[in-house]
Amino acid sequence: MDVDKIYCGDYKFTVEVDTGSETGANQLTVWVAEKAMVDSWPLSRFKRDQLFNALLEPQKSYLILLLDKEKSACRSPFEDEMQKLRQLFTTTTKRRT
């Protein structure tokens, strides 16, 4: 549970209560985070979800549409093959009976 947050320049200090039993009860933990300028970072340093969440409309909707079309196109050959195998299995089991 966060107790306090302090901002100082490019740094953020977060104080939280540690109620765990590792070292004792009700100890305080201080977390430090430094602000980073990500403008010059390569996109490969970001996760896919971070990049997707950074997209704005209408690019986000357009990308979702393209991804759905691509997913459908990739899935179609597998579904066709599965259907052929099901039919083959059904016809061979009927012949045996």
Looking at the structure, tell me whether residues 55 and 78 fall in a common domain. Answer: yes
CA distance 97 to 88: 15
Looking at the structure, tell me whether residues 30 and 60 fall in a common domain. Answer: no
Q: pLDDT band for 88, please (50, 70, 90 cuts).
A: confident
pTM: 0.42
**pLDDT confidence of residue 70:** 92
Q: Which of 37, 3, 4 is nearest to 17 (CA)?
A: 3
CA distance 51 to 85: 39
- DSSP code at position 24: -
Looking at the structure, tell me whether residues 13 and 49 fall in a common domain. Answer: no
Looking at the structure, tell me whether residues 46 and 24 fall in a common domain. Answer: no
Looking at the structure, tell me whether residues 30 and 54 fall in a common domain. Answer: no
Looking at the structure, tell me whether residues 46 and 19 fall in a common domain. Answer: no
**pLDDT confidence of residue 20:** 67
Note down the domain range covering 83.
42-97
25-78: pLDDT as tens digits: 668 888 999 888 878 888 888 898 888 888 888 999 999 899 999 999 999 899
| Number of structural domains in the chain | 2
